[in-house]
Chain A
Amino acid sequence: MSGDAKTSGAPVAPDTVLSVEGLSVSVRTEAGPKVLVDSLSFTLNRGETLAIAGESGSGKSLTSLAVMGLLPPPAVHVSAGRILLKGTDLLSLPEGKMRAIRGDRIAMIFQEPMTSLNPVLTVGKQLTEAIEAHETLPRGQARARALEALKAVRMSQPERRLKQYPHELSGGMRQRVMIAMAVALRPDILIADEPTTALDVTVQREVLELLRDLQRDLGTAIILITHDMGVVAEMADRVVVMQAGRMVEQGPVRQLFAAPKQPYTRALLDAVPRMGNGGAPVKAPTTEPLVRVRDLKVRFDIRGGVLNTVQAHVHAVAGVSFDIRPGETFSLVGESGCGKSTIAKAMVGLVPFTGTIEVAGRAVASDQRRSGAAFRDVQMIFQDPMASLDPRMRVGDLVAEPLVIHGIGSPVERRAKTAELFERVGLERDQIDRYPHEFSGGQRQRICIARALALQPKLIIADESVSALDVSVQARVLALLEALKTEFGIAYLFISHDMAVVENISDRVAVMHLGQIVETGTRAQIFGAPKHPYTKTLIEAVPVPDPTHQRKPSQRPAGEVPSPVLPRGVLPQRILLKDTGDGHLAAV
């Protein structure tokens, strides 16, 4: 492999697998070349995990793609530096030689297990193909190796998985397939680019444990690209912190967390929401509830048969009751598919439901022909601020639109109100004539907040509203929401999968599983003394941003995810909640 490639002049330490020297990545733009990664240097040793941490735009993913030789051509390219794999400069290798290294010596897993596998090929085909790309093997033997790889990633029913297609597997199982594919040839280096960001916390925990075990067994060196300092603390031996294409700081993980040298590292660590950090205890409820939800049920039909009749139902929400009091933050937490977002949709009349929803004494109609006035009290902020702002409208018009719809004020008054809202959410008055693409992610979410505030609602539903934001931005947006709550007395229904964020901002919390609430109570009750095993699992699964923290091995066996789909006529078993004292309800 290293035969005709030039070797490094400097003596290489025996256990150094990869060394990156002065790597710069640039993109050609109309305004000339723009540097995306600027003279980055680091080394990676055998069996070590190096975390490259940073926020979006820091160049961490580009660095990994540069190592793989997969930078998107032709605009993005390496403009300087060397990438030495055991002394061989990868950048000087012709494509044919680089291809032989890719997947064999250096393998990679990606963030999105949902889209990273080819939907039209079976898991078995995709696995054997990865093996056959580098080794000439008889058909049966490649399959045996694929099966072995699936067993190595602790996949349930590995023989059956080989014949399945990616869409038949859950997100966690797909990421296991990706890992199996990557480690099947026992690479020297495994690059994991945000490997658990798209996964639920409990699944994240399983996948991280798996990576650690594989590393111990195979001696693979791992480059872990992540924005999550909790994951860094849990996994890394050494850390490289990047910001805007430059390395800010690097060092052993404990040292970096205990005594960060650079202000940016310190700010990044401070912005991370931590568990057990919740504020003062909540005052006892005195007022009438603002929102009353009673026995809310939402189900979707699955049709089939000769006459296309309803064959089964997806019981997305299977009987949920809760109250939200004025000025309170009530959080719904749970993993994907638990029905938390469906509740939000029902509350603004976007899905038909049964049961009752009352906001400020007015019932929400379930037939979607909502009367305008009844809905002024409830506004929503969504997860993806880019997707929820019309790219062809000026942001000022977007914020003023709810006022236009409800016929409030003259154009001049609306413009004044919009400018005022912009200032309130921390944007400039003169930005109101710009378009959404001219703003950063955090600013866009502020625009969405301004739009939600325009009608002076009593309740704002925030559906994963900070999940897509970088931690430092997330912290500032959460602080803004908190300030607005005190200022205007708004109540929030906060929907999130992120336990740490929920603990930091909630007054009361409900934990959802398969369309039902399994436990609800004040923040202190849920996080201080969780009663239900599912709540405990969720809390324990959250990575702790402290490298000295020792965690117990996970309890939950990997396997099939329970399904909310039931045949027609079969109803989900109702969970009964019992008061364990002081309004802390848990399933019995």
Chain B
Amino acid sequence: MAAYLVRRLLVSLLILLGVSFITFVLLYALPADPVRQIAGRSATAQTVENIRAQLGLDQPLMVQYWRYLTGLVQGDLGRSYLQRSEVSELIAARLPATLLLMAGAIGCELILGLTMGIVAALKRGSATDNTLMIASFVGVSAPQFVVGLLLLYVFAVQLKWFPIGGYGTLAHLVLPSVTLGIMGSGWYSRMMRSSMVDVLRADYIRTARAKGLTRARVILRHALPNAILPIIAMIGIDIGIFMGGIVVVESVFGWPGIGQLAWQAIQRVDIPIIMGVTLVSACAIVLGNLLADLVTPFIDPRIRLR
């Protein structure tokens, strides 16, 4: 177990190194010039070159990357070109909001998706099953900005159940979480349904019934833990899919997280922030997958990590 963890963490570091290199090269290859953004339109050629030299952007790519990397190992993500503050501080200030949103979205996905999947599996072939599966399909196909705006219009503008945007209370969290989670819940409900259908046919379910257990116990105690196993690995992968959605959802709902930070930074070619947010997201994805793998043995004793 300890050896497994060490090995996985080493591999994670390699992945992060790869991500940082690819992102760095891609940003360098961008046609937009960050120095122009900083200097403004009226700046002279001399000023532009001065700023370029000051930021070290006149150096060859590999030298720039090496500098960034040496900073990174000391925990230095660099300074924002435009916001005059440390990238690490900017991210640290906004990360809790994003993590909260992600937690809300995962909760929404699991509650909605698993319930729908289990009910559909138990009522397989019925009208309920068909309705739920059509609903899940709609959830999977609907673009997030449409869902977000629709939810805003119905529940915030018309019904006034939830605030239109902002951050602070539990009520603020509901609509963004649902928007972000609705696509995943569609996937989960379909996966959970097929997984549950398979498990309900298993020999050990017949054994459980032959023991004279109640239907509820057969489903909750015997079928559910087995059916949920393939879903757990999915949750780890999901965090990566979330990162794309977070930029959209945070913009629609004015949620002060790193998605908004990234969006603003991209518009202004603020490379250190883009790099920082990308690396933090990559960390989240890598850790999410690792966490999912670490949790699995607790539910499935057949899996041993070594």
Contact = CB atoms under 8 A, between A and B. Distances in A.
Given A112-B203, A305-B3, A102 B302 contact: no
B204 A116 contact: yes
A441 B121 CA distance: 32
A468 interface: no
A178 interface: yes
Contacts of A108: 210
Contact of B212 (A102, A116, A167, A311): A102
B94 interface: no
B222 interface: yes
Interface in A402-416: none
A178 B207 contact: yes
A115 B198 CA distance: 13
B211 A119 contact: no
Contact of A70 (B3, B4, B7, B210): B210
Instruction: From B6, B202, B203, B210, name the one whose CB has the most chain A CB atoms within 10 angstroms.
Output: B210
B210 A118 contact: no
Contacts of A107: 210-211
Interface string B1-32: 00110110010000000000000000000000
Nearest to A308: B7
Nearest to A101: B212
Given A119-B302, A304-B306, A308-B7, A110 B212 contact: no
Interface residues of A, number: 34
B9 to A, nearest CB: 10
B128 interface: no
A566 to B, nearest CB: 17
B211 A110 contact: no
B132 interface: no
B268 interface: no
A1 interface: no
Contact of B211 (A130, A303, A311): A130
A129 interface: yes
Contact of B306 (A118, A130, A167, A305): A305
A306 B11 CA distance: 11
B212 A118 contact: no
A306 B210 contact: no
Most chain B CB neighbours (cut-off 10 Å) among A103, A117, A181: A103
Interface in A137-189: 165, 167, 178, 181
Contact of A115 (B6, B203, B217, B221): B203
A308 B4 CA distance: 8
A350 B7 CA distance: 31
A130 B209 CA distance: 10
B208 interface: yes
A118 B3 contact: no
Nearest to B302: A167
Contacts of B7: 305-308
Contacts of B4: 304
A295 B6 CA distance: 40
Contacts of B217: 129, 133
Contact of A120 (B6, B203, B212, B299): B299
A133 B209 CA distance: 11
A118 B208 contact: yes
Contacts of B306: 303-305, 311
Contacts of A305: 3, 7, 306
B272 to A, nearest CB: 34
B214 A99 contact: yes
Nearest to A74: B125
Given A99-B213, A110-B203, 12 more contacts: A102-B212, A103-B210, A103-B212, A104-B212, A118-B204, A120-B299, A129-B221, A133-B213, A181-B207, A304-B3, A306-B10, A311-B306
Interface of A: 68, 70, 99-104, 107-108, 110, 112, 115-121, 129-130, 133-134, 165, 167, 178, 181, 303-308, 311
27 contacts: A70-B206, A99-B212, A99-B213, A99-B214, A101-B212, A102-B210, A103-B211, A103-B213, A107-B210, A110-B210, A115-B204, A119-B301, A120-B226, A120-B301, A129-B211, A129-B217, A129-B221, A130-B211, A133-B212, A133-B214, A167-B301, A167-B302, A181-B207, A304-B4, A305-B3, A305-B7, A306-B10
Interface of B: 3-4, 6-7, 10, 202-204, 206-214, 217, 221-222, 225-226, 299-302, 306
